Amino acid sequence: QVQLEESGGDSVQAGGSLRLSCTASRPSSYCIAWFRQVPGKEREGVGGIDMDGTTAYADSVKGRFTISQDNAKQITYLQMNNLKPEDTATYYCAARNGWLLREWYYTYEYEFWGQGTQVAVSS
């Protein structure tokens, strides 16, 4: 059974950093993506990572966020640096069976989701 759980969300000042973790009990054929959502808005893709470590990022976070993984521990990390108030959201990790798609950011491509972890960035 595939299970995902996020952790690491917190309140932080603008310019600060956080590292989110996604503990994903899953087969090795699944890739992981991070999404975020604010009230009244569509869930937005943040980035994703393939089983071989290849990553993709949304333009809004490129250069500030880094996704990595520990395959042995089945943990996927979202390192967030230079946080901005517009990064405030609930962050979710998601999994799909297969490689990360070139257009990876559609929520309907992901079968499994965690419950989310809250990130609040104050100015």
Mean pLDDT of 72-77: 93
Residue 85: DSSP 8-state:
G
Cα angle 41, 44, 46; round to 5 = 150
**Percentage of residues of the chain with pLDDT beyond 70:** 100
Query: How much is the pLDDT for 27?
Result: 83
Burial grade of 102 (CB within 10 A; 0-12, 13-18, 19 or more): exposed
Q: Which two tokens stand for residue 22?
A: 């996604």
Burial grade of 105 (CB within 10 A; 0-12, 13-18, 19 or more): middle
**Nearest-angstrom CA–CA distance, 37 and 45:** 9
Rounded to the nearest angstrom, the gap between the alpha carbon of residue 91 and the centroid of all alpha carbons in its chain is: 6
Mean pLDDT of 70-89: 96
* 53 — pLDDT class (breaks 50, 70, 90): very high
* 72 — pLDDT class (breaks 50, 70, 90): confident
